[in-house]
């Protein structure tokens, strides 16, 4: 009986392996990465393997920060980003190619673009790991020593996990030479609650202080209060719309601005920083019915400076986040000179998320393609890498 039982067990195991093989197929690289990411102390390879085959897994926080598992989609399986993972991905081969591009005299920038810009963030993180283990050098250090200027900023940005990139940009905006209010507004007004929470956690880990404390120390007045409110990540993100509350909020905004002498800025902040998107869109419609003006017109006439910019950004993000980023990109290149910090930040942070939508909005709003704007406003390797992130001419 023991022999028969053992035989049956063996047959059962064989059938499990055959079934696993049929499931894996073209997904073998993904499952391999799953096993690699879980091969720490105390991990049981067999249980990891069966878990990877048998059921889907909720992405870890690290994987979300590396671009896995939380990117918006346009439809079932269709990403809205212009940068996608390579189907024939080989981290070891990519690591060797990068080393050759930076070895000896001169640097092969085209090879660096070909490898890193045509991989998604999760794949770049694997390349970084394999570069260290097979070559014995730190990829980020090598890239920084070989590259320079805006081209370096783009490449290093692409190598940086999503949350950490936002955190570093926020810290630069606060602690750099002068305050970059536009950067603070852009990130805090456009990120989800979960993204804001991860930003707060990572910020404290990186710099030993809270994002809120640093905002408070570097800003003032109602603008400070708006940023602090946004930085808590406590906006209602439900789809619920209460028509009675819509009427109350629209009337409250009207009475806080257009109907009175002076402006109750706190009322605007309280509503715009906390209500959910669907509710606010109805409030904006109702506000126009009551006041005869669009909410943005009222904000422009009632507010000024950074506070005006912050509240307008919130309204724009509620109406169309891709439209908001399209406008930011346009303004970064319009006129004399280029706001490279804004251009780089948006191209890097949105290329795997919604760049396709941003490009479409850009062309609709300005009658020209984002690609043509970038091509006419930048040069050299910096231009090359941005054009690849843009995803080609429309």
**Residue labelled with tokens 């606060």:** 174
CATH fold label, 162-231: Annexin V; domain 1 (1.10.220)
- Extents of the domains making up the chain: 14-57, 91-147, 162-231, 243-319, 321-390
C-alpha count within 13 angstroms, C-beta hemisphere, residue 33 = 20
Report helix angle 305-319 to 321-333, nearest 10.
130
| Model confidence pLDDT, tens digit, residues 20-48 | 444 334 443 443 333 333 333 333 333 33
What is the rounded CA–CA span in Å between residue 309 and residue 330? 16
Residue 66, pLDDT > 70, answer no
Tokens 């970038």 map to which residue?
374
In percent, how much of the chain has pLDDT > 90? 76
Q: What is the pLDDT of residue 37?
A: 36
Which residues fall within 8 angstroms of residue 89, CB to CB, at 6 or more apart?
29, 119, 123, 126
- The percentage of residues in the chain with a pLDDT greater than 70, rounded to a whole number, is 80
The predicted model gives 232-246 an average pLDDT of 98
Q: What was the pLDDT predicted at 65?
A: 40
**pLDDT score at 56:** 36
- Rounded Cα distance, 361 and 326, in Å: 6
Q: Is the pLDDT of residue 60 over 50?
A: no
Query: What is the per-residue pLDDT for 78?
Result: 52
Domain 321-390 CATH (choose: 3.40.920.10, 1.10.10.10, 3.40.50.1950, 1.10.220.10): 1.10.220.10
Give the pLDDT confidence of 296-348 residue by residue, as tens digits: 999 999 999 999 999 999 999 999 999 999 999 999 999 889 999 999 999 99
Question: To which CATH superfamily is domain 91-147 assigned?
Answer: Annexin (1.10.220.10)
Full-model pTM: 0.81
φ and ψ at residue 75, rounded to 5 degrees: -165, -170
Helix or strand run (H / E) with residue 75 = strand 73-75
- The topology (CATH level 3) of 243-319 is Annexin V; domain 1 (1.10.220)
pLDDT given for residue 62 in this prediction: 37
CA distance 252 to 271: 9
């Amino acid at each position: 009986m023991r022999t028969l039982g053992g035989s049956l067990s063996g047959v059962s195991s064989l059938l499990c392996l055959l079934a696993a093989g049929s499931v894996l197929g073209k997904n073998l690289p993904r499952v391999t990465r799953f096993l690699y990411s879980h091969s720490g102390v105390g991990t049981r390879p067999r249980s990891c393997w069966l878990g990877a085959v048998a059921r889907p897994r909720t992405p870890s926080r690290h994987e979300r920060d590396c671009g896995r598992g939380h990117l918006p989609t346009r439809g079932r399986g269709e990403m809205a980003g212009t940068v996608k993972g390579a189907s024939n991905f080989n981290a070891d081969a990519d690591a060797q190619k990068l080393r050759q591009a930076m070895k000896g005299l001169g640097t092969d920038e085209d090879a660096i673009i070909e490898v890193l810009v045509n991989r998604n963030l999760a794949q770049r993180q694997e390349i970084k790991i394999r570069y260290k283990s097979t070559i014995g050098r730190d990829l980020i250090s090598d890239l920084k020593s070989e590259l320079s200027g805006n081209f370096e900023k783009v490449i290093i940005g692409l190598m940086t996990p999503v949350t950490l990139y936002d955190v570093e940009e926020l810290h630069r905006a606060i602690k750099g030479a002068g305050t970059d209010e536009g950067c603070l507004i852009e990130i805090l007004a456009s990120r989800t609650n979960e993204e804001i929470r991860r930003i707060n956690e990572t910020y404290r880990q990186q710099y030993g202080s809270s994002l809120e404390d640093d905002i408070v120390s570097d800003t003032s007045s109602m603008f400070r209060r708006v940023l602090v409110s946004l930085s808590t990540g406590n906006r209602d993100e439900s789809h619920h719309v209460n028509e009675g509350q819509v009427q109350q909020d629209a009337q409250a905004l009207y009475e806080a601005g257009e109907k009175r002498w002076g402006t109750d800025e706190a009322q605007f902040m309280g509503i715009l920083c906390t209500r959910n998107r669907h509710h606010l869109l109805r409030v904006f419609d109702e506000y126009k019915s009551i006041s005869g003006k669009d909410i943005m017109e009222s904000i422009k006439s009632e507010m000024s400076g950074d506070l005006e910019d912050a509240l307008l950004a919130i309204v724009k993000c509620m109406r169309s986040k891709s439209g908001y980023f399209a406008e930011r990109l346009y303004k970064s290149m319009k006129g004399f000179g280029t706001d490279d910090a804004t251009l780089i930040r948006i191209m890097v942070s949105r290329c795997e998320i919604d760049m396709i939508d941003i490009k479409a909005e850009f062309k609709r709003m300005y009658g020209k393609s984002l690609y043509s704007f970038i091509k006419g406003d930048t040069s050299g390797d910096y231009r090359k890498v941005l054009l690849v992130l843009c995803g080609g001419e429309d």
